[in-house]
Amino acid sequence: MSNLAMPKIDRKLISRKADIVSDLKKIIKAENILYHEDQTRPFETDALSAYKQKPLIVIFPENTKEVSELLSYCNQNRIKVVPRGAGTGLSGGALPMADSILLCLGKFKKILDIDYKNRCVVAQPGVTNLSITQAVQDKGFYYAPDPSSQIACSIGGNVAENSGGVHSLKYGTTTNNILGVEVVFMDGTISRLGGKTYDSEGYDLLGLITGSEGLLCVITEVTVKILRKPETVKAALIGFSTIEDAGNCVSDIIANGIIPSGMEMMDKALIHATDDFVKAGYPRDAEAMLIVELDGTGTEVNELINKVNIIAKKNKSSSIKISKNEKQRLKFWAGRKAAFPACGDMAPDYYCMDGTIPRGKLAQVLKEIGRLSKKYNLPVANAFHAGDGNLHPLIMYDANEKGALEKTEKFGAEILKYCVKIGGVLTGEHGVGVEKRELMCEMFNNNDIQQQIKIKKALDASSLLNPGKVYPILRKCAEEGRIHVHRGKTKFPDIPRF
């Protein structure tokens, strides 16, 4: 069994709530501490709203010194701490516990430095993703990673989850665009990793921290690189009569040495939902659609657009439309960016999955998702970061129906297991959190997981920082010698359902 077991609720600690609040008031301002039930309720979940749990206390530190003192105090008193950014996460990574302090970084919202000579921006973790681009766009720069939630998600959360977006294919995810961080470890130690330079000596601790989901440290400052806006950007909207043709087109574009700045796929269900939502002019008769964006010099973009057009026709495209201006290009993207809210018209609730597969298996996976949709009698709309194989099936269900959430979870688990089976991974950008933790043994054996836990324990010996996330909390299966999964059956009293 994992030596990082799910902590039981500490009832004695809960009974000391008043004393803990009194101690915290010696560290930060009283108005930055929330502890009444009506105050803490808004923080009981993140964007994965299937699970809810009110924290013991919510705190809003204002500077790194306060974070350091808070963590040191909690470490000495064995109090669990869950870091939280904007709360837009989709894997339950910021889900609090009943005996935990929720450490919110919403007051860390300043851009500290814009350095055009070194092409970087230094920001506090609460700064939104889009705000970085808005701060530098008048000088012709931008920040490349662009999650669909970029208007709200925080840069600190992006680092914790290694977030991507539609431009990840060419420009990479957060890990490829971050230069440095300031972090605070559970014992209160403040450390700087990286900086404004592109290379640093020693172990790649910055790479270790990026995507660590709040289990290793609290991020209090981020340095990201910014890029020059390309001279020309055009997007092609391509419809296909079959999913197979669209998937083959994706593979052929990459095989021909073309690396689009973005390449997204949507199936018919999502084409209709998003077109109804934003009137983007999508090909409603298509079974699948690609948005292929090319950037660079004018000559380069025109040549690549022509090549994409030829490749699309070879793959039996039913329609193709090229953006004539920036307004039309943004309109093409408007539907894709609104994919999640557009699904609100399709069902009372939806469950957004996140897995990654080899590009050449796109059509195969979509067929399997279709088969599972019939098996579970739940409709699905599919969006893909097609270029890098990151898929986002959106399973439609009604949470008010008895057993609907459990059935949806089983459906989602089968999708992710299939992703791993064909050579993919459990997550692309949403993280493991609580949503996928019981599926970790699909990718890792017990020895693999123990090695990861050893790193966690080296930086957080008492496992107080964001406990209960990422690692499975179940017994071993003697027959297989691995951690056994009981998705939907094992009871987790620390994660109440609503």
Compute the distance between CA of residue 329 and CA of residue 336 in angstroms, rounded to an integer: 12
From the list 467, 465, 470, 455, the residue with the least C-alpha distance to 186 is 465
- pLDDT mean over 290-301: 97
- pLDDT mean over 5-28: 88
Give the whole-number percent of the chain exceeding pLDDT 90. Answer: 80
Contacts of 489 (CB under 8 A, 6+ apart): none
Q: Is residue 272 pLDDT above 70, yes or no?
A: yes
The pLDDT assigned to 269 comes to 93
The pLDDT assigned to 474 comes to 60
Residues of the chain with CATH 3.30.43.10: 1-107+445-498
From the list 37, 17, 8, the residue with the least C-alpha distance to 77 is 17
- pLDDT mean over 215-241: 97
The pLDDT assigned to 387 comes to 86
Residues of the chain with CATH 3.40.462.10: 233-435
Residues of the chain with CATH 3.30.465.10: 111-228
Helix (H/G/I), strand (E/B), else coil: 288: strand
Distances (CA, A) of 97 to 6, 67, 205, 221: 11, 19, 28, 25
The pLDDT assigned to 249 comes to 95
102-138 exposure pattern, b = at least 16 Cβ within 10 A, e = fewer: bbbbeebeebeebeeeebbbbbbbbbbbbbbbebbee
- Give the tens place of pLDDT for each residue, 68-87: 999 999 999 999 999 999 99
Q: Is residue 364 pLDDT above 70, yes or no?
A: yes
The pLDDT assigned to 476 comes to 44
- Give me the residues paired with residue 267 across strands: 288
Q: Is residue 97 pLDDT above 80, yes or no?
A: yes
375, HSE (Cβ side, Cα atoms, 13 Å): 13
Q: Is residue 477 pLDDT above 70, yes or no?
A: no
The pLDDT assigned to 118 comes to 96
From the list 397, 372, 368, 392, the residue with the least C-alpha distance to 381 is 392
The pLDDT assigned to 7 comes to 57
Task: Read off the pTM.
Answer: 0.90
- Give the tens place of pLDDT for each residue, 116-142: 999 999 999 999 999 999 999 999 999
Q: Between these two residues, 29 and 201, which has the higher pLDDT value? A: 29
Domain 233-435, CATH: 3.40.462.10
Q: Between these two residues, 5 and 407, which has the higher pLDDT value? A: 407
Q: Is residue 494 pLDDT above 60, yes or no?
A: no
Distances (CA, A) of 200 to 110, 197, 207, 253, 263: 25, 7, 12, 35, 32
242, HSE (Cβ side, Cα atoms, 13 Å): 9
Q: Is residue 5 pLDDT above 90, yes or no?
A: no
- pLDDT mean over 145-164: 94
The pLDDT assigned to 497 comes to 41
Compute the distance between CA of residue 207 and CA of residue 194 in angstroms, rounded to an integer: 10
Q: How is residue 9 written in tokens?
A: 């609720």
pLDDT, averaged across the chain = 91
- Give the tens place of pLDDT for each residue, 382-435: 998 988 899 999 999 998 999 999 999 999 999 999 999 999 999 988 999 999
Does the structural domain 111-228 have CATH classification 3.10.580.10? no
- pLDDT mean over 278-290: 95
Q: Is residue 457 pLDDT above 90, yes or no?
A: yes
Residue with the two structure tokens 């990574």: 93
- Radius of gyration, CA atoms only, the chain: 23
The pLDDT assigned to 52 comes to 87
1-107+445-498: CATH, from 3.30.43.10, 3.40.920.10, 3.55.10.10, 1.10.260.40: 3.30.43.10
Res. 475 pLDDT band, cuts 50 70 90: very low
Question: Which of 5-9, 24-28, 237-241 has the weakest average pLDDT?
Answer: 5-9
